[in-house]
Amino acid sequence: MIKELFLASLNNYSADQALNDSLWREITDKYSGSKRYYHTLLHLEHLTAELIQFKDHFRSWDTIVFSIVYHDIVYNALKKNNEEKSAGYAEKILHAIHYSHAETEHCKAIILATKNHQVNDDKEINLFTDADLSILGSPQPVYVNYAKQIRKEYSIYPDFMYRPGRQKTLNHFLQMKRIFKTDAFFNKHEAQARVNLQHESVLLTEGAI
C-alpha cells in the first residue's frame, strides 16, 4: 500500500517518472538494510494502515505519506541523531520536487517528534506519533516478536549493556500517565500496551530476550 501511496503523492509534484521510481527504490534499499529487523518496509505498512483511518484528519495527506516513508530513512542503532538526519533527508527530497516550504517544515516536525513521542500542540503530530507506537498495543505474540526484532537491531551490544537500557525505556513508558496522546489510540491500545511492556520487562529479567 505505501508504495502506491508514495508514488501517487510524488506524481502530484513530479512528472519525472524515472526520478519517482528511483526515489522509491532508494526507500526500498534503505529499509531493507541487513541491520534492520523491525524498522523495515513492514513497519511502514503498519504505520500506513494505522494512519489511513484518519486520512480526513490531516490537512495534507501527501505530507503524512512523505513523513511515513522518511521518518526512519536513516537508522543506526549506534547513533542518537537518526530523527534529525531523517528529517534532513526528507527536506532534501521534498526540496527537489518543489514541495511547499510550509509542508516540508511540517514533515520535518513530524519526523523529529518521533524521537521522544511527547504530547504536541499539533494534533496531527500526536496522531502520527501514536501510530508509530501502536506496535506496543499489539497482541502479545506480535509484541514479543517486535521486542526480539529490536534486540537484533541492537545486537552489537552485549546483554549486560542492552538489558538495563531497554528496561529504562520500558519504565519510561510505564511511568507515563498516558502512553498514547489521542483518545482513539488510547482507547484501542493503552491497556494492552501496558500489559506488553510489563511482560517484556519480565522476559528481560529472566534473560529470555
202 within 8 A of 156, measured Cβ to Cβ: no
- Over residues 183-195, the pLDDT tens digits come to 999 999 999 999 9
Distances (CA, A) of 75 to 37, 45, 55, 188: 11, 17, 27, 28
Is pLDDT larger for residue 116 or for residue 147? 147
Is 73 contained in some domain?
A: yes
Number of domains in the chain: 2
- Of 115, 148, 179, the last residue of a domain is 115
**Predicted pLDDT at 146:** 98
Cell numbers describing residue 202 = 519480565
**Predicted pLDDT at 25:** 97
- Over residues 70-125, the pLDDT tens digits come to 999 999 988 999 999 999 999 999 999 999 999 999 999 999 999 989 999 999 99
**Predicted pLDDT at 89:** 98
Is 125 contained in some domain?
A: no
CA distance 51 to 68: 9
CB burial class (10 A; 0-12, 13-18, 19+) of residue 106?
A: buried
**Predicted pLDDT at 185:** 98
Is 127 contained in some domain?
A: no
Whether residue 207 has pLDDT greater than 90? no
Question: Do 42 and 105 share a domain, yes or no?
Answer: yes
- Of 115, 149, 172, the last residue of a domain is 115
**Predicted pLDDT at 23:** 97
Question: Do 104 and 164 share a domain, yes or no?
Answer: no
Domain that holds residue 20: 2-115
CA distance 147 to 131: 17
